[in-house]
A and B are shown apart, each in its own frame.
Chain A
Amino acid sequence: MDLDEFRSGLDAWLDEHHDELVATSHDPGDLAADMAHLSKVKRMTFDAGWMRWGWPERVGGLGGSTLFRAYLGEALTGRGLVEPGVYSMTEVLAPTMIDHAHPDVAAEMVPKLLRGEETWCQGFSEPDTGSNLGALACRAVRDGDVWRVTGQKVWTSLAQHSQRCVLLVRTGTTEDAHRGITALFVDMDSPGIVVRPIVTMHGREEFCEVFFDDVVVPVERMLGPEGNGWTVAMELLPFERSTALWHRGAYLHERLDTLLATAEPGALSASEVGAAWAKLFAFRARSRMTQHRMASGDKLGPETSVDKILLGTAEQTIFDLVADGLAEDVVLGDDAESVRWRSEFLYSRAATIYGGSSEIQRNIVARRLLDLGADR
C-alpha cells in the first residue's frame, strides 16, 4: 500500500459510505452525541481496515507509513465527518502507549481506542499546575504491587466519557521537580475517582475536574519505570503538535471554504481573507513537512512547538474572520449553523492555550531551538 493507493481507496470508500458516516446532529452543546458519532466512525473505519494502517501490528494495526494516519484524519476532518478536537486524542495517546506501556497492556488496550470502543483522557494539568507541569502534586504512594493515588486534576478533556486516563502523578518529592513524576494508565471506573464536568465558554462540557481518593493502580500500569513520567510527557507533547494538528489544518481549510461560500458579498475584507489564507498555507506547509519527517522515522521534539505556534495563529485569524464576516449570526443567531459558528469561534480562543500555551512554546523555541541558554 502506498499513499496514493491509500488516498484513492479511502476517498472512494468515504464517498460510498458518506450517508452512514455523516453526523446527524450538529449541536455543539451535545458532546455525548459527538462522542457516540466519533465511536461509530472509528469502528467503521477500523473494521474496513483504514484506521489500522500506520499503526504497528502488535497493537492491532496493519503497519505501513504514518502518513496513512495523517491522511485518514485529514479526510475525516476535512469532510466534516468528525470534529478534530475529539478525534485528536487517538493520535496523542496511542503513540504514547505504544512507546511506554508494557507490551501486553498496549496490545490489549490500543485496539480498543483505535476501534472507538473506548475513549481515553490525558490527566496532566492540576489546579495549581498548568504551564509549570513539573510542579504537579497529585500523589501516588507505592503499596506492594499497587500505587495508591490521591489528588486532583483539572481541565481533563473528555474525562466523563473516558474508560482510561494517562495520568501524571508525583512519586518523588516536590523538590525532585520533574524527576519525581511517574506516568500511570488508570481505569476511570476505579473506586475513588470522581469526575465533575466543567462547562466551557463555548457551551460544552469539554473538560472536567477529576478527583482521586486512594485510587488503586496496579504497577503493571506504569508507563515506563518509576520516575519516567517527565519523559513520557515530553514525548507525548510532540504528538499533540504533529499528526493531530495536520488534521486540524484540514478542518480549518473546510471551515474557511464554508465561510467563503456563506458570507454575504462585502462582508469580508480581501486583505484579511488573503492574510488568513497565507497563514493557513504556511501552517499546512510546515505541518506537512512534520508528517513526512515522522514517516521517515525521525523522532519528533521541540521543533513541533513551531507547528503549534503557527496553528494557534492561523486558527484564531480564521475565526476572527468568522466573527467579523458573520457577525450577526455569531452574535444573535440561534439557528444550528449560527450556534456552530459561535461555538467554533469561541473554541478557537483556546488554540493558544491548550497543549502548552503560545508563551510556553516560545520559551521552548528560545531555549531549545535558538539555544539562548537558561532564562534565569
Chain B
Amino acid sequence: MTMDRDEQELFTATVRATVAGAGSAAALDAALAELGWVDALEVDPRTAVAALFEAQGELTATSSALGVVVGAALGVGVEDGGGLVLPTIGHDDPPGRTEGSCVPVRGLGLPGLLDRSRATVVATGADGALHSAPVDVAALAPTLVAGLDSDLGLAVVDVECVSTAEPWAAAEGTWDEAVAAGRRALAHELLGTMRTMLRLAREHALERIQFGQPIARFQAVRHKLAEVYVAVEATEAAIDAAWQDGTPASATLAKVVAGTNARIARTHCQQVLAGIGFTTEHDLHRSIKRSLVLDGLLGDARTLTTKVGAELLEARTAPAITPL
C-alpha cells in the first residue's frame, strides 16, 4: 500500500499548509489528527514523515509526532505515542531501566507532555529485554525547560523510581528499529532547518549592498553558500538512500550526514547574515537553535559518527551500501 505520485504531492502540500497554519504544538497535533496523518504514516511512511518533518524544520514548528513515529515501531498506539518519553540529549538508549519494582527514568518529554495524563516509558532490563508501560505523567515529575530553544517546549524527566499501575509489558519490535524511525524523521527535520537557513542567507546576500554591490558578488560569500547548497543536496540524498535501504544502519548514517551538514549550514549562513543574523529581529536564530536541538536528539552527529566508525573497525570490513 502506498500513495501514487499525485496523492503524495497533494498530501505534502496539505501537511505543509497545516504546519504553517498551526500556531502551537497542541494546535498542530490536533490538526494532524484531523488530517489523518497517522493513517498516512501507515500507508506511506516515507511520504508522511518527509512531508511533516521537513515542514516542521523549515517553519520551525513542532508537534509530538516524533513520539508517534518512534512509538509506532514499538507497537505503541497513536494516543500514547505523543506522550512517549525520548532519551535525553546526547543519548540513544531506552530512557528507563527495569531493575526490580523500581524503574528509574531519565529522558525528554515532547511538547504537550504536561497537558497529558498518561506518558509512555520504554525501558530495558539487565537481560536487554525491552518493555514499555503507560505511566502517570505526574509520576514522571516532568519539568518544562526553556533551554536553548524555548519555543520547543521540551520537558526534562529525571526520576529515581517510577511504579506503574499496569505491569511492564514486553514491547513489540526492537529499540533499534524504533530509533531508526526517529532518526529518519529527525534527518528530514534537520534538512528543513537547513533549507530555511540557506534561503535566508541567499536572500540576504542578494539584497545586502556593501562596497557598492550586493555581497552575493563576493566569491568568499558565494562559496560559503555553495557549500551549504551541497550540504543540503547531500543530506537529501543520504535520506533517500536510508529509505531505500530501510535498516537501522542507514538511518544512523542519514542522521550523521544531516547533523554534520546542519553544522555547515549554521556556520556559513550565520557568517553571511552577520550582524542582522545575530539578532532576534531576524529569523535565522530560530533555525539555528532548532537545528542544534534536533542534532542532539536520538544521538548527535559526533557521537554517532564515532559509534559507526567503531563498528566498522570491529567488523574490519565496509558493508555493502547504496546498491544501484
Contact = CB atoms under 8 A, between A and B. Distances in A.
A277 B237 contact: no
Interface string A28-47: 00000000000000000000
A374 B219 CA distance: 10
A366 interface: yes
B321 A375 contact: no
- Of B202, B235, B307, B309, the most chain A CB neighbours within 10 A belong to B309
Contacts of B312: 260, 273-274, 277
B305 A375 contact: no
A375 B235 CA distance: 27
Interface in B214-251: 214, 216-217, 219, 222-223, 225-227, 229-230, 233-235, 237-238, 240-241, 250
A282 B222 contact: no
A40 B260 CA distance: 43
A285 interface: yes
Interface string A332-376: 000000000000000000000000000101110111011011111
B316 interface: yes
B322 A261 contact: no
Contacts, number: 144
Contacts of B238: 278, 281-282, 285
A37 B310 CA distance: 37
A373 B321 contact: no
- Of A282, A367, A376, the most chain B CB neighbours within 10 A belong to A282
A289 B233 CA distance: 11
A257 B321 CA distance: 12
Interface stretch (A83-91, A158-166, A263-271): A263-271
A277 B257 contact: no
A71 B322 CA distance: 12
Contacts of A359: 223
Given A256-B318, A277-B253, A365 B230 contact: yes
Given A260-B316, A288-B324, A366-B223, A274 B229 contact: no
Given A282-B238, A284-B241, A277 B309 contact: yes
Interface string B292-315: 000000000010111111101101
Interface size grouping (class) on chain B: 35 or more
A74 B324 contact: yes
Interface in A273-308: 273-275, 277-278, 280-286, 288-289, 291, 303, 306
Nearest to B198: A370
Contact of B217 (A7, A270, A373): A373
Contacts of A256: 318
A260 B313 contact: yes
Given A274-B304, A288-B324, A366-B226, 17 more contacts: A67-B324, A257-B318, A261-B316, A268-B313, A272-B309, A273-B313, A274-B305, A275-B309, A278-B308, A282-B238, A285-B238, A288-B322, A289-B237, A306-B233, A306-B234, A363-B223, A365-B230
Give 8 closest A-B pairs by Cβ, nearest first: A274-B309, A285-B241, A273-B309, A270-B309, A366-B222, A274-B305, A285-B237, A365-B226
